[in-house]
Amino acid sequence: MWRPLDPAIMAEVERLLASRTRNIRLKGELERLFQQRSWSRTAKIVRAWMTWVALLDLLTLCLNAILLPKAIVISMLAPASILPPVALATAFVWRRPRANCFQRLALTAGLFLILLSVALVGVSAGGEFYERHLNIMLFVAITAIVIFALPLSWTMTIACYALGVYLVLQLRNPNLSAGSAVAATLFFASGIIATVVARRTMTLLAQKTFLLELRDQGRVAELADANARLELLAKTDPLTGIANRRWMMETLNRLWSERINSGGGIAMLMCDVDDFKNLNDRLGHAEGDRSLVKVAGIIQSSVSRDRDHVARYGGEEFLVVLPGADEREALAIAERIRKSVEAASLPNPASRVAPYVTLSIGVAAKAPGDDLNGPEVLQNQADAALYIAKQEGRNRVVLHKRDRRRASIVKPSSER
């Protein structure tokens, strides 16, 4: 899964992409990420190459034993036996990630011994095999340079010791003058240099592709983050910070379906700030907004955050949904909310109930097995109970009873 990168790293990505491809140099965290991304592919190539080189060496030795004189084959055995164990040991080292310096040493040392083994086979056999195996050694080196996606320093190391072994052994070639040995080395050097340059270009293009992917993934992450913020804004009331009516309706429909399928109950509280218009007229809309924010916080803190849902339904009304709650639990929560708002003593000098902010709450509950057509019915019941609470003097909790003409009223303690 994509993890957003540090802004400083993304800034470095943009800087490198703005420059010319040949000037790309990955450092620090970017270099680590690139190696981490490319290691698996490089390791598979190294292991496959080493395994096939070992198999081909054994196959060639077997064919030589059949086609060549016995004395020549015997002279080839000792140097040829170096290659298979070295190649397989190098492949083993690259089975899993290890320290960078250790893997570099294993690969460069392994390749050196492989190239030396190929060259010494020709030197030991002598004659026409001498120069032929030196050329084969260079061919092996070139294939390694082309195939292995290695850092430039590693590639240069392989190229240098391949040419070095070639030059030293050609200078010792009794059938070749020193001038011819140097000329042949320079000829092959031009080809190897061109191969190194091509390998470097391939590496730069791979690094640029990596940077482009990082930039695209960064933009995708930014877009996802922006979408998440938009989604949060779409379901959040901008004043109080709690859920808005639209999100609550969607949640209520989902919860209702879940409760119907599982046969569980659900309760709803419709809360309304008493005489809120008078508060706005007397103290101003700014003070009214502050009161709504505090009331929303009190309601939110009075319910279970893991289970219950609170939303601003509109204006000074709040809707609370209590999944799994019965009438008794819903009444207890409603009364706790009402008392907490009353205890906060938020100023409302124009209220007809008290000189502070109070709440009227209508409660409706669906018990398991109740036959209700939808959440709108339960909401209408809570709203009807709220209407009765207003009629009965406000600052109280009223429970809707479908089987009675009159709702059950929980009066504030001051009236009991």
In terms of domains, do 173 and 277 share one? Answer: no
Q: pLDDT tens for residues 289-332?
A: 999 999 999 999 999 878 899 999 988 999 999 998 889 999 99
For a pLDDT cut of 70, what percent of the chain falls above it?
Answer: 93
Which neighbouring-strand residues pair with 314? Answer: 317
Asked if residue 233 is part of any domain, the answer here is no
Total domains in the chain come to: 2
In terms of domains, do 257 and 135 share one? Answer: no
- Interior/surface letters 211-222, b for 16+ CB within 10 angstroms, e for the rest: beebeeebeeee
Asked if residue 228 is part of any domain, the answer here is no
Per-residue confidence (pLDDT) for residue 317, from 0 to 100 = 95
In terms of domains, do 363 and 299 share one? Answer: yes
Unique residue bearing structure tokens 């919860």: 255
Asked if residue 1 is part of any domain, the answer here is no
Of 259, 369, 360, give the one whose Cα is nearest residue 309.
Answer: 259
In terms of domains, do 310 and 397 share one? Answer: yes
Rounded distance between C-alpha atoms, residue 210 and residue 207, angstroms: 5
Asked if residue 365 is part of any domain, the answer here is yes
- Interior/surface letters 87-105, b for 16+ CB within 10 angstroms, e for the rest: bbebbebbeeeeeeeebee
Tokens of 49: 């190459």
Tokens of 337: 């909310």
Query: pLDDT at residue 416 above 50?
Result: no
Per-residue confidence (pLDDT) for residue 103, from 0 to 100 = 87
Instruction: Tell me the mean pLDDT in the region 232-254.
Output: 85
Place 406 in a pLDDT band, splitting at 50, 70 and 90: very low
3-state secondary structure of 347: strand
Asked if residue 322 is part of any domain, the answer here is yes
In terms of domains, do 178 and 280 share one? Answer: no
Asked if residue 342 is part of any domain, the answer here is yes
Average pLDDT of the chain is 88
Unique residue bearing structure tokens 């959440």: 375
End-to-end Cα distance, the chain: 61
In terms of domains, do 257 and 303 share one? Answer: yes
**In what order do the strands lie in the sheet containing 397-399?**
309-314, 317-323, 266-273, 359-366, 397-399, 408-410
In terms of domains, do 205 and 281 share one? Answer: no
Asked if residue 395 is part of any domain, the answer here is yes
Looking at 12, 316, 327, 342, which residue is catalytic? Answer: 316
Instruction: Tell me the mean pLDDT in the region 76-105.
Output: 92
Asked if residue 238 is part of any domain, the answer here is no
Listed range (140-144, 193-197, 255-259) with the worst mean pLDDT: 255-259
- What are the residues whose beta carbons fall under 8 Å from the beta carbon of 309, sequence distance 6 or more? 243, 248, 251, 252, 255, 320, 321, 323
Domain stop point among 220, 235, 269: 220
Per-residue confidence (pLDDT) for residue 339, from 0 to 100 = 96
| Residue-number span of the structural domain to which 384 is assigned | 245-415
Per-residue confidence (pLDDT) for residue 5, from 0 to 100 = 65
In terms of domains, do 207 and 286 share one? Answer: no
Distance of alpha carbon 239 from the chain centroid: 32
Q: pLDDT tens for residues 138-175?
A: 999 999 988 888 888 888 989 998 999 999 999 998 88
| Residue 316 among the catalytic residues | yes
Does the predicted TM-score (pTM) go above 0.85?
no
Instruction: Tell me the mean pLDDT in the region 215-242.
Output: 82
Domain stop point among 205, 220, 235: 220
Place 412 in a pLDDT band, splitting at 50, 70 and 90: low
In terms of domains, do 172 and 271 share one? Answer: no
Phi first, then psi, for residue 351 (nearest 5°) are -70, 145
Specify the pairing of strand 359-366 against strand 408-410: unpaired
In terms of domains, do 151 and 286 share one? Answer: no
Rounded distance between C-alpha atoms, residue 225 and residue 246, angstroms: 22
Query: pLDDT at residue 405 above 70?
Result: no
Phi first, then psi, for residue 319 (nearest 5°) are -115, 130
Q: pLDDT tens for residues 21-50?
A: 888 888 888 888 888 888 889 999 999 999
In terms of domains, do 172 and 59 share one? Answer: yes
In terms of domains, do 19 and 114 share one? Answer: yes
Q: Dihedral sign for Cα 297, 278, 410, 320, please.
A: negative
Rounded distance between C-alpha atoms, residue 333 and residue 270, angstroms: 12
CATH for 282: 3.30.70.270
- What are the residues whose beta carbons fall under 8 Å from the beta carbon of 121, sequence distance 6 or more? 76, 79, 80, 129, 133
